Amino acid sequence: MILFTVGFTMMGVCQFWQMTLDDAVRGATRQLLLSSSSTTPETQTQFINSVCSEFGAVAPCSKTNLQIEVQTNTSTQTFAGITPAIVSQQGQLSPAGGFPTIPTSGGPYPTLIQVAYQLPPWMDFLPYLPLSGATIPSLNVILTGNATAALVSNQAVMVN
């Protein structure tokens, strides 16, 4: 019964986090779109700060637990030419850290923004409860909805 109560609470909190993260990434992406046509395009730090300004109100958010990969296809200018980063079962985004400077002319440029938020251990212990001596990481799906230990939020936008 205790396990159920804890499970319910964690699931609710994680779903709330995910919705807030989606909204925060949407807001940050909008900022990125607006800044791309200016003389001072947004930096990775500014992007993270933008996400954390909203998401940080509900969850611990910083450079250390927020992984970002931004890819812009400036060659063929197609989404099909972008290979999305993969999130491992442990919640590691790979590759991560890319944040290209988007050219201010010659666009529009397809841009894929991927954000992965690794759940803190105090939130993520539930799927790792020993079960017959083994762990069941696939239970992460209850918390994150994607069988990894990270909340994932993607945005595919056309940057003008």
Partner 1 sequence: MARAFLQAHRFLLDRKAVASVEFAIIMSFFLLVFIGTFEILTLLRTDQKMNIVAATVAQAYVVESPDGSALSASIPQDICYGAVQGLAPYGAGGLTVDVASVTSVTPGSTASYWEQDFSGNSCTAVTPAVIGSTAACNLVTSNGQGGMLPSSGGAVGDNAIIVKVTLTYPGLVGLWLSTSPTLTQQVMTRWAYASTSTALTVTGVTPQTITCSG
Q: Which residues bind partner 1 (CB under 8 A)?
A: 1, 4, 7-8, 11-12, 15, 18-19, 22, 26, 33, 78-80, 82, 84, 87, 107-108, 110, 112, 142, 145-146, 148, 152, 154-160
What is the largest distance, in Å, between two alpha-carbon atoms of the chain? 60
Closest approach of partner 1 to the CB of residue 73, in Å: 10
Minimum CB distance to partner 1 smaller for 95 or for 108: 108
Q: Which residues contact 73 (CB under 8 A, 6 or more apart)?
A: 79, 81, 82, 109, 110, 111
In the sheet with 150-159, reading across from the earlier edge strand, the strands are 66-72, 109-118, 150-159
Closest approach of partner 1 to the CB of residue 79, in Å: 4
Minimum CB distance to partner 1 smaller for 45 or for 158: 158
Minimum CB distance to partner 1 smaller for 22 or for 54: 22
Closest approach of partner 1 to the CB of residue 145, in Å: 6
Minimum CB distance to partner 1 smaller for 45 or for 104: 104
